[in-house]
Amino acid sequence: MPDMTNTPDRARTRFPGISSRAYEHPADRSALVALRSLTGFDVVLRRLSGLFNERAIRLTFLASSVRASENQFHNLYDMVRDAAYILDMPEVPEVYVEQNPAANAYAIGADHPFIVVTTGLLDLHDDEELRFVIGHEVGHILSGHSVYQTMMMILTRLGSRLAWLPLGNLGIAAILMGLREWHRKSELSCDRAGLLTGQDPAAVKRALMKMAGGTRLADMNTDAFLQQAREYDQAGDVRDGMLKFLNLLGQSHPFAVVRLAEIDRWASDGEYLRILAGDYPRRADDANAKVTDEVKNAARSYKDSWERSADPFVGKVKDVADAAAGAAGGLFDKLARRGGDTSAQN
């Protein structure tokens, strides 16, 4: 099991040629592979991206924020370069510091994605915790998430413009619901990318606890916070399970206790250590990623999480969800047999 103590700054393992598939949550990965395999999807994506003026947004941040460099926020600038080096990114993304007391960070853009962090985030975290957050955002860029996040922003804005129509917003709302479910899974993926970048599980846990309870770490306890996650999973009856589901629908991120429990499990189950040892998928093999395999992996992941869960609501819907996942896998198998096995570059 990885060392959970506070790890001082030291040489970190680099992952030459690492594919984002190494850290992506199976549900996130299957959705991305399936999307990229759709004929004409890139054309649609580019047309949607045309509604989002990336150059104008970058110019706005250039004018109103502080761009990290060797002369400004040098420490942050080094962290971004280190993260790009560790994950073997072909291009080091720009990072901007925005004056905002709310702790937040995000990656945005399609052609040349860049990272924005708020002053509230810098004030909240120490260097090792911040290294995790930066690695998380670099993971979004390596996975191509920033493109789909931009699409979600476009659809959100478009939905607000169509809200006056009687049914104009319903279709977009349905698409956004699906995108938000994907986005929540992408956040779990990039928590893993952040851990691979900082290689300090204790710092990841501190960062997530601070996102929930602020800077008073002396008044918090990792084991007690994990116990909260177990209580949240087990809480109440079927009605409480339904309420948890409804509460999550409007969230862009999974709740903090869920994220901590997920990254603690991933850091401890052997996959993290295998990647550190050099056993991970390479980008050179991404073209061979099969939709059928990824759908099955996603179904297996959901099934494993259902088996672990003590939520009574999950128990009620498990059989229905199992049947749906099996049907989805069968559909992709049929498509693969008709047109040759579908594959897509990640």
Positions annotated as catalytic residues are: 137
Specify burial of residue 219 (Cβ count, 10 A radius: 0-12, 13-18, 19+). Answer: exposed
Residue with tokens 């800077």: 215
Rounded CA-CA distance 189/183 in Å is 10
Dihedral pair phi/psi, residue 72, rounded to 5°: -135, 130
**CB contact set of 271 (below 8 Å; sequence gap of 6+):** none
**CB contact set of 279 (below 8 Å; sequence gap of 6+):** none
Cα separation values, 254 from 122, 128, 131, 185, 289, Å = 21, 22, 20, 8, 27
Q: Would you say the C-alpha torsion 28, 32, 35, 38 has a positive or negative sign?
A: negative
Rounded CA-CA distance 339/343 in Å is 11
For the chain, the straight-line distance linking the first and the last C-alpha, in angstroms and rounded, comes to 30
**CB contact set of 313 (below 8 Å; sequence gap of 6+):** 238, 240, 241, 242, 244, 245
Cα separation values, 33 from 37, 107, 125, 144, Å = 6, 20, 34, 11
Rounded CA-CA distance 29/142 in Å is 13
Q: Please name every residue paired with 95 in a beta bridge, in sequence order, or none if there are none.
A: 115
Residues shown for the chain: 346
Q: Are strands 105-108 and 114-118 parallel, antiparallel or unpaired?
A: antiparallel
Q: Is 95 helix (H, G, I), strand (E, B) or coil?
A: strand
